[in-house]
């Protein structure tokens, strides 16, 4: 699947990195890094990350 | 006939419940009933960037569009019944009545009607008084924010403090009035509440604690326009605007007459089944359910992650009922979480600090919140919550994981 985070919406809440640690990570500057092409087996956790994003900044495109 | 599920509440909880019903394989009809005319939208920004990020002429349509959740494609066929609240129900007959006179028949129901703000007593004055729950509320408040406006925020909880912060940033002169000894007492405890007060006062906010509001006074030339707030001790505070953030009422009136326990929300079991009703579940702020993570006492939890979590579990429970197949019997043990942005600080909470008997500074200093602070909340020596203030988000997972382990009893 393809994952896109709208970085103009992202507010660095870090909730995605808790919900889907295989795909999203807060780096040492507490800025988001993510894998834009995660394996389809990770869909459930990516959907959870998108759901719990306080800024609703995560887009999943299949 | 195709089964009919009606979701009452076009909220985050209602949306996630509908989506999860589809994810569980429910293929019957789905209707979502909403009191507001808007599709589900994200409420937390209403006290923050939805006010500060728009000009005074922002419209309800523009704001609701900018905050709207993106429904999953699985519910593209849902019937939206918006702009008219449910007013009564006959659960035995499976009938729901809306304010516009429509009657909907249902086989199963998701209760997600949420909360409405409590209001100060007194019908007058009528103008200059605001609450912040809906986009319409936020648009009305934004339009009233002119530079140097004098605002009194009644209620020093999270929403009150966030609104105070946002109004201050927009040039208002703000006073917060809180009846308890410190702001946000139930959310963060006395020590951190006092520290947050000191921090906020340092930025110019006026905070009055231990005082409630006894009445509002209208302007001499126009009694309907608020002019001052009178505190319990008789002090008068001049006010062009009064923001009432004194808590909420669960919207349960439409369920009356069905023999349900509607004391402070809707009483549910641990699977979000409304007590005594296999075909009715509840989700979101309105659902009062026991969380064995903490104990067996049923509570409502108004934290941001709870609508999503309760909705998903409620939908699993309901889909299992409709299909006749049990997919899970695990206890439902969500970890509450929320954040708050106020006066340059970001707070992140995990767990239930409000249940604690002791608060301990784990990291940092209460007199330097900007520098980062971690408070640990203990109940009978067990960690039940943590509040992080200005802690890098890269550290969140570590503290969440510390709070997350379940007690052995579960």
Based on the fold, state whether residues B158 and B63 are members of the same structural domain. Answer: no
CA distances B320 to B2, B280, B316, Å, are 17, 12, 6
Query: How distant is the Cα of A11 from the closest Cα of chain B, in angstroms?
Result: 10
Three-state secondary structure call for residue B47: helix
Q: Say yes or no: B216 and B256 in one domain.
A: no
Q: Which of B289, B323, B357 is the last residue of a domain?
A: B323
**Total domains present in chain B:** 3
Pair (B132, B102) in one structural domain = no
User: Nearest CA to B199 among B345, B364, B340, B52?
Assistant: B345
- The residue written with tokens 């807060």 in the block is A26
List, for residues B284-330, the tens digit of each pLDDT value.
999 999 999 999 999 999 999 999 999 999 999 999 999 999 888 89
Report the pLDDT averaged over residues B274-284. Answer: 96
Specify the DSSP class assigned to residue B163.
H
Instruction: Yes or no: say if B42 and B138 are a contact pair by the CB < 8 Å rule.
Output: no
Question: Residues B160, B50: one domain?
Answer: no
Q: Measured between beta carbons, which residues in chain B are less than 8 angstroms from residue A17?
A: 393-394, 396-397
- Chain B residues whose C-beta sits inside 8 Å of any chain A C-beta: 16, 42, 44, 69-70, 304-305, 308, 337, 339, 348, 392-394, 396-397, 400
Which of A26, A52, A54 lies at the smallest CB-CB distance from B394? A26
Instruction: Assess if residue B178 is contained within a domain.
Output: yes
Q: Is residue B123 part of a domain?
A: yes
> Which of B19, B393, B402 is the best residue to mutate to test the A interface, defined by the most A CB atoms within 10 Å of its own CB?
B393
Q: Is B272 left (phi over 0), alpha (psi -120 to 50) or beta?
A: left
> How confident is the model over B17-50, as pLDDT tens digits?
999 999 999 999 999 999 999 999 999 999 999 9
In this structure, is residue B132 part of a structural domain?
A: yes
From CA B134, how far away is CA B121, in angstroms rounded?
A: 21
- Based on the fold, state whether residues B152 and B39 are members of the same structural domain: no
Residue B20 shares a structural domain with residue B111: yes
Q: Which residues form the domain of B94?
A: 4-116+249-323
Query: What DSSP state is assigned to residue B388?
Result: E
Residue B301: phi and psi, rounded to 5, are -130, 115
Output the pLDDT for position B147.
Answer: 87
pLDDT at B156 over 60: yes
Please report, for residues B65, B140, B325, the alpha-carbon distance to residue B61 in angstroms, rounded to integers and kept in the order given. Answer: 6, 13, 42
Strand pairing of B241-244 and B129-130?
parallel
Average pLDDT over residues B249-272: 98
Q: C-alpha B262: how far from its chain's center? A: 18
Q: Which of B69, B392, B400 sits opposite A56 (nearest CB)?
A: B69
Examine the domain organization and report whether B224 and B264 are in the same domain. Answer: no
pLDDT in tens, B322-376: 999 988 889 999 999 999 999 999 999 999 999 999 999 999 999 999 999 999 9
Could you tell me which of B354, B350, B358 has the C-alpha nearest to residue B404?
B350
CATH number for the domain harbouring residue B360: 3.30.390.30
Which residues of chain A does B396 touch, with a Cβ-Cβ cutoff of 8 Å?
14-15, 17-18, 26
Asked if the Cβ–Cβ distance from B393 to A17 is below 8 Å, we say yes
In the three-class reduction of DSSP (H, G, I as helix; E, B as strand; rest coil), residue B135 is classed as helix
Mean pLDDT, residues B129-137 taken together: 97
Subunit contact B394:A30, Cβ cutoff 8 A: yes
The answer to whether the Cα torsion of B66, B72, B76, B79 is positive or negative is negative
Residues pairing with B349 in the sheet: B338, B387
B154 within 8 A of B229, measured Cβ to Cβ: yes
Count, residues in chain B: 410
> Is B148 found in the same domain as B102?
no
B304, B392, B397 member nearest A54 (Cβ): B304
CA A25 to chain centre: 8
Domain boundaries A2-61, CATH class: alpha beta
Band (B408; pLDDT cuts 50, 70, 90): low
How high is the pLDDT of residue A62? Answer: 72
Chain B contact for A54 (CB, 8 A cutoff): yes
* Contact yes or no for B254/B89 (Cβ under 8 A): yes
Please state, for a pLDDT cut of 70, what percent of chain B lies above it. Answer: 99
**Is the model's pLDDT at B410 over the cut of 70?**
no
What is the pLDDT at residue B122? 81
Question: In this predicted model, what pLDDT tens digit does every residue of B206-219 receive, in sequence order?
Answer: 999 999 999 999 99
Predicted confidence at residue B409, as pLDDT, reads: 55
pLDDT at B123: 80
Judged by CB atoms closer than 8 Å, whether chains meet at A27 and B339 is answered as no
Domain identity same for B112 and B255? yes
Q: Is cis: bond before B125, omega within 30 of 0? A: yes
Residue A45: other Cβ atoms inside 10 A: 17
B91 with B52, same domain?
yes
Nearest Cβ partner of B394 from A28, A51, A52? Answer: A28
B305-323 vs B12-23: helix axis angle to the nearest 10?
Answer: 40
Q: Which residues of B332-341 are buried (b: 16+ CB within 10 A; e: fewer)?
A: bebbbbbbbb
For residues B297 and B375, membership in a common domain is answered with no
Quick check: A26 and B393 CB within 8 A?
yes
B270-to-B261, B273, B331 alpha-carbon distances in Å: 15, 7, 7
A9 touches chain B (CB under 8 A): no
Q: How far apart are CA B350 and CA B387, in angstroms?
A: 6
User: In this structure, is residue B349 part of a structural domain?
Assistant: yes
CA distance B337 to B349: 5
Q: Which of B286, B347, B253, B337 is nearest to B115 (CA)?
A: B286
Q: How far is B83 from chain A (nearest CA, A)?
A: 24
* Residues in B touching A52 (Cβ below 8 Å): 305, 308
Instruction: Band the pLDDT of B1: cuts 50, 70, 90.
Output: confident
Inter-chain Cβ pairs, chain A and chain B, closer than 8 A: 40
Q: Where are the domains of chain A?
A: 2-61
Q: Which residue has the higher pLDDT, B6 or B407?
A: B6
Q: Which of B201, B226, B246 is the last residue of a domain?
A: B246
Q: What is the pLDDT of residues B92-131, one digit of tens each?
A: 999 999 999 999 999 999 999 999 999 998 888 999 999 9
Count CB atoms within 10 A of the CB of residue B29.
Answer: 16
Nearest Cα residue to B399 out of B354, B341, B343, B339: B339
DSSP class of B406: P
Give the per-residue pLDDT at A54.
95
**Could you tell me which chain B residue has the CA closest to the CA of A33?**
B394
**Same structural domain, B163 and B210:** yes
CA pair distance B268, B336, nearest whole angstrom: 17
Structure tokens at A48: 């959870």
Confidence of residue A30 (pLDDT cuts 50, 70, 90): confident
pLDDT for position B327: 85
- What is the pLDDT averaged over residues A5-29? 95
Segments of B14-131 assigned E as strands: 29-34, 79-82, 86-90, 95-98, 103-105, 108-111, 115-117, 129-130
pLDDT at B402 over 90: yes
Q: Where a domain ends, among B293, B323, B353?
A: B323
Task: Flag if B16 and A28 touch (Cβ within 8 Å).
Answer: no
pLDDT tens-digit readout, B163-184: 999 999 999 999 999 999 999 9
Q: What is the mean pLDDT of chain B?
A: 96
């Amino acid at each position: 699947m393809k994952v896109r985070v709208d970085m103009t919406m992202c507010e660095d809440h870090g909730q995605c990195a808790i919900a889907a640690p295989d795909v999203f990570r807060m780096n040492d500057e507490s800025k988001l890094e993510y894998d834009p092409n995660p394996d389809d087996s990770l869909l459930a956790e990516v959907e959870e990350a998108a759901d719990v994003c306080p800024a609703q900044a995560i887009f999943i495109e299949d | 006939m195709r089964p009919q599920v009606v979701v009452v509440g076009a909220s985050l909880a209602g949306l996630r419940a509908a989506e999860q019903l589809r994810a569980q394989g429910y293929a019957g009809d789905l209707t979502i009933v909403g009191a507001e005319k808007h599709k589900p939208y994200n409420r937390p920004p209403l006290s923050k960037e939805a006010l500060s990020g728009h000009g005074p002429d922002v419209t309800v349509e523009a704001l609701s569009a900018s905050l709207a959740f993106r429904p999953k494609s699985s519910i593209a066929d849902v019937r939206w019944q918006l702009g008219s609240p449910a007013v009564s129900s006959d659960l035995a007959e499976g009938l729901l009545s809306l304010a516009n006179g429509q009657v909907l028949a249902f086989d199963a129901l998701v209760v997600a009607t949420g909360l409405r703000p409590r209001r100060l007593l007194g019908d007058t004055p009528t103008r200059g008084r605001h609450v912040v729950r809906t986009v319409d509320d936020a648009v009305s408040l934004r339009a009233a924010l002119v530079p140097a406006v004098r605002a009194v925020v009644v209620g020093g909880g999270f929403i009150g403090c966030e609104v105070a912060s946002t109004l201050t940033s927009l040039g208002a002169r703000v006073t917060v009035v809180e009846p308890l000894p410190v702001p946000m007492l139930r959310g963060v405890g006395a020590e951190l509440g006092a520290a947050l007060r000191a921090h906020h006062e340092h930025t110019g906010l006026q905070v009055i604690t231990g005082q409630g509001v006894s009445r509002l006074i209208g302007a001499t030339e126009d009694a309907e326009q608020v002019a001052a707030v009178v505190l319990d001790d008789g002090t008068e505070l001049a006010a062009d605007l009064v923001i009432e953030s004194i808590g909420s009422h669960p919207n349960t009136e439409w369920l009356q007459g069905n023999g349900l326990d509607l004391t402070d929300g809707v009483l549910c079991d641990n699977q979000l089944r409304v007590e005594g009703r296999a075909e009715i579940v509840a989700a979101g702020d309105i659902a009062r359910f026991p969380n064995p993570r903490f104990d067996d006492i049923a509570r409502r939890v108004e934290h941001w992650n709870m609508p999503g979590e309760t909705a998903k579990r409620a939908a699993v429970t309901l889909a299992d009922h409709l299909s006749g197949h049990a997919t899970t019997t695990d206890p439902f043990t969500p970890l509450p979480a929320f954040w708050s942005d106020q006066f340059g600080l970001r707070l992140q909470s995990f767990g239930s600090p409000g249940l604690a008997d002791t608060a301990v500074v784990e990291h940092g200093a209460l007199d330097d919140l900007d520098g980062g602070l971690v408070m640990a909340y203990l109940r009978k020596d067990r960690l039940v919550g943590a509040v992080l203030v200005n802690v890098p988000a890269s550290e969140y997972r570590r503290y969440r994981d510390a709070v997350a382990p379940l007690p052995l009893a579960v």
